[in-house]
Amino acid sequence: MELFDGFFSGKPVRLLDHSQAELIFSKKNEAILSFALEDAIATAVGEKNVPPTVRLWVHDRTLVLGIPDSRLEHLEKGVAYVRSLGYDVIVRNSGGLAVLLDKNVLNVSFILPDKDELSIHGGYELMYQFTKRLFEEETDDILAYEIKGSYCPGDYDLSIDGKKFAGISQRRVRNGVAVQMYLDIAGSSHERASIVKRFYDLARGEKDTAFAYPDVNPSVMASINELLGASFTVEQISKRIEALLLRYTGKLEHGPLTEGERSVFFERLKQMEKRNEIIKRLS
């Protein structure tokens, strides 16, 4: 039995579809909110006040930086370039490096309890197995290994024929763990990667750095539509995810967020705002 079956078969799961949400707790639904919210949910899930939660979320025209990216020598030049294209820029609190989001990129989070029982490797493997199930009707060629030249590279880059269409990161909060994946569904991944490449070219500077930032090669990235010759939309894949979860769990819960999650959310939002002061100073 695969890890995916053990986690989801016959168990209560809450699905939060924020892919079309305009507001979160009466606040405009911007990317900075998502990372605060996932900490709040992970806290509640870890304390077992709410069931394990799958969350879907979308943010248009946003460059999400990793913490190491915020230390780039000429960060202000890279941020100015991205903003000139009409993109927002934030620094996230989970692992990894820069990722470009837009309306055709679906983010999927598994927010699970008992982090000591789920290894870091296990968290990545769980999302990998889930993604293979998600597209099992179209392909059995999805592999997980680092795609050199991709942005936000890692051992669990998801690819077909050597081209990356999804990346996975994790964040562990108290007794909860959030396994987060961005999934390029439609649009041009080559164009997204070209923007990230130019960001690094401008922000990195000429000095050698102790940290190995990626040398982005746009030709190694593609959307799932491009790779499968498909025409999926975010909404269609969101519905497919719901159907897949329902198939394994037998029953899905649908919110709402609790008062406890709301309270922790506002605490974590303050931390995210503090983390992003460096970006605000570049305005």
Fill in the DSSP letter of residue 206.
S
Segment 69-79 mean pLDDT? 95
- pLDDT value for 53: 96
Q: Which residue has the tokens 């130019």?
A: 198
Residues known to be catalytic: 152
pTM: 0.95
Count Cα neighbours of 55 within 13 Å in the Cβ-side half-sphere.
Answer: 26
CB neighbour class for 116 (10 Å; exposed up to 12, middle 13-18, buried from 19): exposed
- pLDDT value for 186: 98
- Residue 177: strand, helix, or coil: strand
What domain range includes position 161? 3-280
Domains contained in the chain, number = 1
Q: Do residues 107 and 101 make contact, with C-beta atoms less than 8 angstroms apart?
A: yes
Neighbouring residues of 38: CB distance < 8 A, sequence distance ≥ 6: 55, 109, 111, 171, 178, 180
Work out the mean pLDDT of the chain and round it to a whole number: 93
Q: Do residues 106 and 56 make contact, with C-beta atoms less than 8 angstroms apart?
A: yes
- pLDDT value for 229: 97
CATH assignment at residue 30:
3.30.930.10
Terminus-to-terminus CA distance in the chain, angstroms? Answer: 51
Per-residue confidence at 208, pLDDT binned at 50, 70, 90? low
Nearest to 31 by CA among 112, 94, 120, 75: 94
- The encoded tokens of residue 133 equal 């199930």
Q: What is the pLDDT of residues 103-148, one digit of tens each?
A: 999 999 999 998 788 899 999 999 999 999 999 999 999 999 999 9
